[in-house]
Amino acid sequence: MNKKFFSLLLFGFIAIAQLQAQKAQAVKVRRIDTVAVAILDKMSAMIGDLGSCSVTVKSNYDVTSKELGLIKHSDEEHLYLHGPDKLLLKSEGDRGSRDLYFDGKTLSYYSLDRNQYGQIEAPASLVEMIDTVSRRYGIEFPAADFLYPTFVDDILADSKELVYLGLTTIDGKECYHIAGMGTDKSFQFWVSDDAFTLPMKMVIVYTTKPMNPQYEAVLSDWQVNPTLPDAMFDFSIPLKAKKVKLVPLTAKN
Amino acid sequence: MQKSFKYTYVVIATVLGLAIAACPQQGMAQRFSHGGGGGGFSRPAPAARPAAAAPRQEARPAPARPAPEARPAPEARPAPEARPTINGGGRNVGNHDFNRTNVNAHANVNVRANINVRDNVNVYHTGAYRGIHPYNYHPYRPYYWGPHWHPLGFFLASLAADATWFNFNNQRYYYDDGCYYLPSNGGYSVVPPPVGAVVPSLPDGYETTMVGNDTYYYFGGAFYVSTDQGYQVVVAPPGAVITELPTGAVDQQVNGEDILVYNNTYYQPITQDGQDAYEVVPGPGQ
């Protein structure tokens, strides 16, 4: 009886000691790697200086299914931007074939599969348009994070950890690899180690969502300051296309 | 007739629903929190699927920060004419408030608990320890900062009359011309600068280096920041570029590259403005 009692007591002490040790380990200092910040700064500065650009974004993303777990989807999108207020996005993949045109006043959505289009008035600047349309209508744009002038500040505000891991290769191109941990996600960026310092890849893991879905995007075929005619951002209503109303998120809910 | 009308209504509603579903859908919140209250990466899940109801960024808070276009435009640059940029050109480079709390209501950014994921970040790629500047080997030539400067471990029977002393971590340190001494064997031995200690001045010959927007001072293998009380010893900041390493640095082969290690700090040989230099890089496990 005494043996059992002392064994239990000993076990209790060990358990408490382990808990204390875990607690002590948990209280750590937030670490931000200045090299990682400098690389992201350089990348953000480069994007901020672009007058126009085009890039191909191949993305994979998880959709959570209660029955099947994480279902992987993919899209390939071609994004054309012309400052300060023009955008063209041509997208193909699991969400179908669709185009988005923004000419500085109107955002036009066109589904090639359904031959339907919808239009909404949007703010003039690209970033504001992307932000507003995303918030109100749930229309998302690939690689939009990188376009925000506050990109690095936003990352820092949400990062528990941000570290530069070293150099690695993406599609044959040497890249800086940066990893971070936010409040509800972990993320990684790969930034090209060349004169342009452009984003080449990103991965986000949603650590607080069930099954931890991921988003991965590989950015390729970057064209820096290409000549993009204004006409390519003008939407012409295709023959027999049916007009649909783009419904704000609140109305959907 | 009324039944037919109802049927038509249902069909219209269904078509409208499909149209909405065909639209770019609400994302699965796979984006960072930007000031505008939304922003970030787009990777919407098909809305028609049940899973599309995954938590959208309904928590997207109101834009607490100024809208991006309110940022200073790049017209300030001496460009002959303002060229429109894709995001207005305004950004904050190297001047970050590292303690800024999250504007999107992520409370308590700086005091994190349970940071266990970081402990597993030990997978450094080939080329780890490398900094922003490309590796560029050049021979290591130990440097001496004048006749009064001595390398680590150097023994002196007595100190110069103008040496000062200070107590730090329950120890009495002596400081003279950029060197730190502790009493040893009846004399004084040079020891690594204690991180956190403050000295009133630095000797001639120190160099300055910028990391981001922060200025660091470097002398005799030690880094300092300027404070109201004087110059405080700090841990070598990754990204700092310096031109000379003291004697005592050890060459370490990392992935076929020569990295110099001095006082537990890793220095990568680089070339800056045509001159041999070293960049502080993260060490293993850092």
pTM of the complete model = 0.53
Q: Is B76 on the interface with A (CB under 8 A)?
A: no
d(CA A103, CA A238): 17
Which runs of consecutive H residues, i.e. helices, occur in chain B? 2-22
Per-residue pLDDT reduced to its tens digit, A18-54: 655 555 444 456 778 888 888 999 999 999 999 999 9
Q: Is A24 on the interface with B (CB under 8 A)?
A: no
Q: For the stretch B239-263, what's the b/e string if a residue is b when 16 or more beta carbons lie within 10 angstroms of its beta carbon?
A: bbbbebbbeebeeeebeebebbbbe
Could you say which of A33, A44, A71 has the minimum Cβ distance to residue B91?
A: A44
Could you count the other beta carbons within 10 Å of the beta carbon of residue B230? 13
Could you say which of B33, B51, B125 has the minimum Cβ distance to residue A154?
A: B33
Interface contact flag, B31 A145, Cβ < 8 Å = yes
Q: Would you state the pLDDT for residue A76?
A: 95
Longest CA–CA separation in chain B, Å: 112
Interface contact flag, A131 B103, Cβ < 8 Å = no
Q: How many angstroms away from the CA of A5 is the closest CA of chain B?
A: 33
Burial environment of residue B222 by CB neighbours within 10 A (0 to 12, 13 to 18, 19 or more):
buried
Interface contact flag, B85 A245, Cβ < 8 Å = no
Interface contact flag, B109 A157, Cβ < 8 Å = yes
Chain B residues near residue A197 by CB distance under 8 angstroms: none
Closest by alpha carbon to B219, among B177, B261, B175, B272? B177
Per-residue pLDDT reduced to its tens digit, A105-137: 999 999 998 899 999 999 888 988 998 888 888
d(CA B157, CA B148): 14
Interface contact flag, B39 A177, Cβ < 8 Å = no
Q: Would you state the pLDDT for residue B90?
A: 56
Pick among B43, B119, B241 to test the A interface (most A CBs inside 10 A):
B43
Interface contact flag, B20 A244, Cβ < 8 Å = yes
d(CA B281, CA B260): 10
Residues 30-49 of B with CB under 8 A from A: 30-47, 49
Closest by alpha carbon to B154, among B144, B164, B162? B144
Could you say which of B42, B88, B212 has the minimum Cβ distance to residue A144?
A: B42
Q: How many angstroms away from the CA of A12 is the closest CA of chain B?
A: 23
Task: Identify residue B104 by its one-letter amino acid code.
Answer: N
Interface contact flag, B16 A244, Cβ < 8 Å = yes
Q: Is B68 on the interface with A (CB under 8 A)?
A: yes
pLDDT tens, residue order, chain B (286 aa) = 444 545 555 555 454 444 444 444 334 434 566 654 333 443 334 333 333 333 333 333 444 444 444 444 444 445 455 678 887 765 666 666 665 543 332 222 222 222 222 222 223 333 344 567 778 888 888 888 988 899 898 999 998 888 899 999 899 999 998 999 999 989 999 999 999 999 989 998 899 998 877 899 999 999 999 999 899 999 999 889 999 999 888 888 777 778 899 998 999 998 887 888 999 988 765 5
Could you count the other beta carbons within 10 Å of the beta carbon of residue B30? 28
Chain B residues near residue A158 by CB distance under 8 angstroms: 32-33, 102, 104, 106, 109
